[in-house]
Structure 1
């Protein structure tokens, strides 16, 4: 028996008339394409997760869908992370218009952010993820919650979640590529010595998922750039909140310690 394959179909409704979804369901059913999930993903858009036994079924249905006057096919592809989340939450994630690797969230959307990170953590590919945000907005908590949801172990290389953590070495089982390595760019820049930076270089060369809090600070003290990141997440208390570390950067440049900034 052939393996079931997933496809994602998204269309815009041009003429919203009774029975439209039934017409599409009947068409898919005649070609033995099963609808696994369906949801509105915008005010006039609908997304469907399809199950097929053979990709040829998609090739057969695609030209027919394009002839329908009531809809316009927007996407017909193997489902991406953003497609799955759109189906689950009924809308797409907000992305920066100028840089598509930047995803924007507000604190009230923590659940959506955790789901997004969970999907990224589950994928068996190396990723470098940066998270921007002001103090106590929920960055570290989101990383931990997503690690639990993805059934992954999180390793704090530098952090302030419970107490200020600056690691200089890992124990043997912590080098597992299945772990999630969490680095706080501010803590590392402010408190670390050469042994810590050597550990960071080792981890960055590891084919595991790395999550860098405050990536803009991190890149100023390493050879990495924002282009090195696969995803940049911005988490705000409110949509119009400015994410700024100018005060902290001034202290770092002066070489002074700064305990007042809880990351």
Structure 2
């Protein structure tokens, strides 16, 4: 289709068509069918018919709101169904246009829900059962006075219990919550997201990166410098204990540590 049809509010459309949205549709469709494909008046007539039928698509789109898709998006999908209905309708088969158009438009909307709006990939059979459950559950709940069980749904629909269970579970796959969406507010005014409660930063990654950087530099240190670092940070000895082991003063140990750490920091920054 070369023309993009935008679904307008019903009131707007009626204002533009003089309140005759569905008047004389079938005679116009017959006139369209009788025109040759090369007739210059065919395309303007086709667009006029589509414009008259758009409110039907909007009405059907409203029936599917509240299922995780904005009305404007549903109206656009329904508008595609309107175009398909106009292009495929055969006035010669004896059926009414509305009888043909309604299932065509509804089929387009249902196909969109089935194929395009799932957060994760779900088998087609499971998607179809999930849609059937959407109408079956309220119907059974009304007659039973409570929510039906999976077994009752399976018996009523005459299908396997496993399939019903899979379809019920699949309803949770229809939409996905963002891990970054704020969920709860702390007393200090900050907001927590689901990812805050699911995970935390592992300091091991930082230590691993540091070890990969500092490892080769430590290997090149003189034996005495490396021994001082091992005693101070590996064995957690005090400067006084290191001084006693090395046979030097505590002041010398302090100066050596400062020099060694400064040199390592400089080399590490250069390597980065």
Give me the TM-score of the superposition, normalised by structure 2. Answer: 0.25
Greater fraction strand: 1
TM-score (norm 1): 0.25
More helix by share: 2
User: With CA pairs under 8 Å and 6+ residues apart, which has the higher RCO, 1 or 2?
Assistant: 1
Larger of the two Rg values belongs to structure: 2
